[in-house]
Amino acid sequence: MKKIFLLTLVAFVATAASPGNERDAFIDNLMSKMTLEQKIGQLNLLPMKGDVVTGPDVSADIAQLLKDDQLGAVMNLNDPDKVYTLQKFAVEESGTHIPLLIGFDVVHGYKTIFPVPVGLSCSWDPALAEKTARISAMEATSCGCAWTYAPMVDIAHDARWGRIAEGSGEDQYLGSAFARAYVKGFQGDLSGKGDQMLSCVKHYALYGASDGGLDYTAVDMSRARMFNYYMAPYQAAVEEGVASVMTCFNEVEGVPGAANEFLLQDILRGKWGFDGFVVSDYDGVKELCKHGLGTPEEVTVRSFNAGNDMDMCSLYFVEYIAGAVKEGKIKEQTVNDACRRILEAKYKLGLFEDPYRFCRTQESRQILDSKEFHTAAREIATESMVLLKNDNQILPLKRSTRIALVGPYGKETKNIIGTWYALGSSGRHVSFYEGLLHNGAIVEWAQGSNICFDPALQELWSNRLPIPQDSRSSDEMIKEALEIASRSDVIIAAVGEPAQLSGEGACRVDLTIPDAQKELLRALKSTGKKIVLVVFSGRPLELSWEAENMDAILYAWHPGSEAGNALSDLIYGNVNPSGHLTASFMRSSGQYPYYYNHTPSARQFNGKRAKFSSSYMDCDPTPLYPFGYGLSYTTFEFSEPKVKVLADAIEVKFDVKNTGSIGGKTVAQMYVRDLSASQARPVCELKGFEKAYIEPGKKKTFTFSLTRDDLSFYNNNLDFIFEPGEFKIMCGPDCEHTKSVTVNFGEKQ
């Protein structure tokens, strides 16, 4: 009987006309047979108990909920056989026989892990982000997962906030390009091919602007600021056809994302025309009570009427919506609309045709952690690392150089994958040491130090990816490190943060290298040997002391599965470094929040600390390494930009010459400043970029176009306006070292 029901659905799918009509007719038919309660059941999402935990425990009887038609989606289930069993139960035992949507945080890889997103953004190559998303989708879908909670596109101006690791940095122009690329990679054309998955852009909105760089705090800012600095990447994802949007935990103008009508109705659905479904973040509906917005019933009504279609984890929708409909607090039509959106998503995935299409145990065994995916992970990791310093061209090293590899990340294989590692904890990962050996290195390793002196902190910081505490004293470990250093030509110090010291709920006030490792660095410095510092981290760290005392600094981020091979490729020059920063590195954590595209101060710092200037009495207010910055083993020379004013755009051209002796990739960047406007405008704003390889001695011409839209901004009425006048156009390898030209654009001649 149940099978017949399903077959009827399948037959229906096969016979209708065009895809859109076919889908609508199918869903009309399906919904006509559903009760109000069954429709509400589709709006409920719960986590499965298992290895992966992404929030507080939820105790629920999944089987019973399915039998009662009270569950539309589950998350964190990653075994294709288990997904099969659960899906079979849903299809055969529930009253509606509707397959489940299976979701998971596939953020920067599933089994094969790529660099954390902030690192990946430093590649300045959105095509690479698309490739990582494509591979992740292939791996995840073969294991039953058809919906990822990615990309995270929250712009962050504050490295104290641990979740800066998950986004694409501090600039919304670059962030938008990456947002589009991720959505494209995960979803493709969403035409029901079994290796495409739904993407979910998050955390809408402004989560990255949380007060004090502290997770889950409030956000309040002018609306013009929201739109000029934060909103574009969410909008870009919507324009790219993202299937779902996750609301933020934080308040915006006093109302948390899960209940924010302005964000969900006025902007997302109203202005941007989003037609997918909205899901709250983990317990986001329940937590509205903790924000003081009312009783469980009241917050349910508020959240649902504000535009939240699906409840992640709190079970409030199944508990309270039906009653609220009966009392007239929620319209039945709103339930119908939300249910339809979720059924549409399931339809697009092809789940009604074949509920088991994502359970491909055989295929998953072949592709997870495959050689091909690891080759991609290696290449992509090399593109994301940023060379910050390279005095006297100490890098690349010769194969004959004797290396003392020192530090807790020298042989680490767990924490190099970074936060939100999906199934990475059981993956195959290459340590730095192993990578050096693969490259024929002459190398000795010593641990040198623990992560930090306090064992309790070390345990907290390496949560679920443990780094065993070395029981030796700090002096003993340093002694061993100095011994191997004495036999070496160069020291490579592999230091930084464990994976879980960035990411959700991992904020810090002190962004220096943790104490025990810092002590190790000081001891190494006292040897007088050359030191190459390799930093593992999910956020920009404070490197003022290191910038003065180390000979080279290579910022590895958390590079993923192929960390060791990728690092060694750069260390030996198999690959020339080409990463450039997408978040400013500050001299002191006291400078945050900071963003390169701030408006001018009338009392701008002029290089000398003084009273009555926009400076700190104890620190220069500028970044240590600015947005866009990154070195190469070769050198590039940028020409003056040339502009041509066309009817509706400015064409900008400039040459970049590779003036060194080896080939390399440059990141050509174009910034703009509106010189006179009705409101203060940023000192510079990224408006074009391209990464390209240039042969030694050769030059390449870059051509960018600036339209009126590129030069427009949101005023205080939220009109997106273009004001004719003078614009300064700046081109260079980062936001500070640019050559410029000023042009008049838009005035009637």
Distance, in Å, from the CA atom of 255 to the CA atom of 277, rounded to the nearest integer, reads: 20
Shortest distance (Å) from residue 282 CB to ligand BGC: 4
Distance, in Å, from the CA atom of 100 to the CA atom of 293, rounded to the nearest integer, reads: 31
Q: Give 148 or 488: the residue with its C-beta nearer to ligand BGC.
A: 148
3-state secondary structure of 186: helix
Shortest distance (Å) from residue 134 CB to ligand BGC: 20
Q: Give 130 or 504: the residue with its C-beta nearer to ligand BGC.
A: 504
Shortest distance (Å) from residue 75 CB to ligand BGC: 6
- Annotated active-site residue 281? The verdict is yes
> What one-letter code names the amino acid at 193?
K
Beta-carbon contacts of residue 318 (< 8 Å; ≥ 6 apart): 40, 41, 43, 44, 65, 70, 311
Contact set with ligand BGC (CB under 6 A): 54-55, 105, 149, 202, 281-282, 504
Asked whether the beta carbons of 735 and 681 are under 8 A apart, the reply is no
Q: Give 255 or 467: the residue with its C-beta nearer to ligand BGC.
A: 255
Residue nearest to ligand BGC (CB): 54
Shortest distance (Å) from residue 203 CB to ligand BGC: 6
- Which tokens in the block code for residue 297? 């019933």
Q: How far is CA 165 from CA 3, 200, 419, 461, 540, in A?
A: 46, 17, 8, 15, 9
Q: Please state whether the peptide bond connecting residue 514 to the residue before it is cis, i.e. omega within 30 degrees of 0.
A: no
In DSSP notation, 73-108 reads: EEES---HHHHHHHHHHHHHHSSS-PPPEEEE--SS
The total number of residues shown for the chain amounts to 749
Distance, in Å, from the CA atom of 352 to the CA atom of 67, rounded to the nearest integer, reads: 18
> What one-letter code names the amino acid at 670?
M
Q: Which of 304, 306, 286 is closest to 296 using CA atoms?
A: 286
Shortest distance (Å) from residue 97 CB to ligand BGC: 27
Distance, in Å, from the CA atom of 49 to the CA atom of 46, rounded to the nearest integer, reads: 10
| Backbone torsion region of residue 718, taken as left when φ is above 0, otherwise alpha when ψ lies between -120 and 50, otherwise beta | left
Shortest distance (Å) from residue 383 CB to ligand BGC: 25
Shortest distance (Å) from residue 352 CB to ligand BGC: 25
DSSP label of 286: T
Longest CA span, the chain:
83
Beta-carbon contacts of residue 177 (< 8 Å; ≥ 6 apart): 126, 236
Q: Give 159 or 246: the residue with its C-beta nearer to ligand BGC.
A: 246
Shortest distance (Å) from residue 118 CB to ligand BGC: 15
Out of 158, 281, 283, 369, the active site residue is 281
Q: Give 105 or 311: the residue with its C-beta nearer to ligand BGC.
A: 105
CA end-to-end span of the chain, whole Å?
Answer: 76
Distance, in Å, from the CA atom of 547 to the CA atom of 181, rounded to the nearest integer, reads: 34
Q: Give 170 or 283: the residue with its C-beta nearer to ligand BGC.
A: 283
Q: Which residues are tagged catalytic? A: 281
